[in-house]
Amino acid sequence: MAPEKKISSMFANRFWETKPLESLNSEEWEALCDGCGKCCLNKIEDEETGKVFLTRIACRLFSDESCLCNDYEHRNDHVPECIKLTPTTIKENAYWLPSTCAYKLLYEKKQLPVWHPLLTGSKETVHRAGISIQGSTISEKSVSEDDWENFIILEQK
Ligand code: SF4
Ligand code: SF4
């Protein structure tokens, strides 16, 4: 497919292996996102232990079908609390990101997983590998915050 060819040819230089996060341009930074959607899930943080639990309750702007934000470019207009990941903010947010998140992996000096779109050339491989949350979420619009703990999921590592 055309888009798949584009990913692999655009980033044939494997920039993520040689450039530090703070040196990436915006196109490279965005390409690191694998499209898993897990950062769009609501979390519960245990105040005593600091442990973070993922729920399958997704942000109101998330599309369960496409596994994408419905208005990524203007997301903060709709969801002011949406956290923008940058080379600066990754430091304070890595603790709650899923273990498979490319930003977290590179911040921790780890390798990208074999199913990552930058390695496979296909945006579909995150779904085929069973890593994404496509087709498995419930919108926060339909669940009371008091019930979130009933929707905790185990993160696939
Ligand atoms: S968790 Fe990380 S890799 Fe997955 S969608 Fe969010 S930013 Fe992208
Ligand atoms: S606003 Fe968009 S990117 Fe931010 S959490 Fe919601 S769905 Fe995800």
- Our answer on whether the CB atom of 68 is closer than 6 Å to any ligand 2 atom is no
Whether the model clears a pTM of 0.85, i.e. scores above it, the answer is yes
Confidence of residue 9 (pLDDT cuts 50, 70, 90): low
Tokens 């769009």 locate to: 40
**Positive or negative torsion for Cα 136, 137, 143, 145:** positive
CA 103–ligand 1 middle distance (angstroms): 7
- Would the CB of 117 count as within 6 Å of ligand 1? no
Question: By C-alpha distance, which of 6, 22, 40, 13 is closest to 103?
Answer: 22
Query: How confident is the model over 78-131, as pLDDT tens digits?
Result: 999 999 999 999 999 999 999 999 999 999 999 999 999 999 999 999 999 999
| Per-residue pLDDT, 126 | 98
Residue 21 in this model has a pLDDT that exceeds 90: yes
CA distance 112 to 101: 9
Average pLDDT of every residue of the chain: 92
How far does residue 35's CA lie from ligand 2's centre (Å)?
12
Mutate to test the pocket of ligand 2, among 61, 70, 83, 96 (most ligand atoms within 8 A of CB): 61
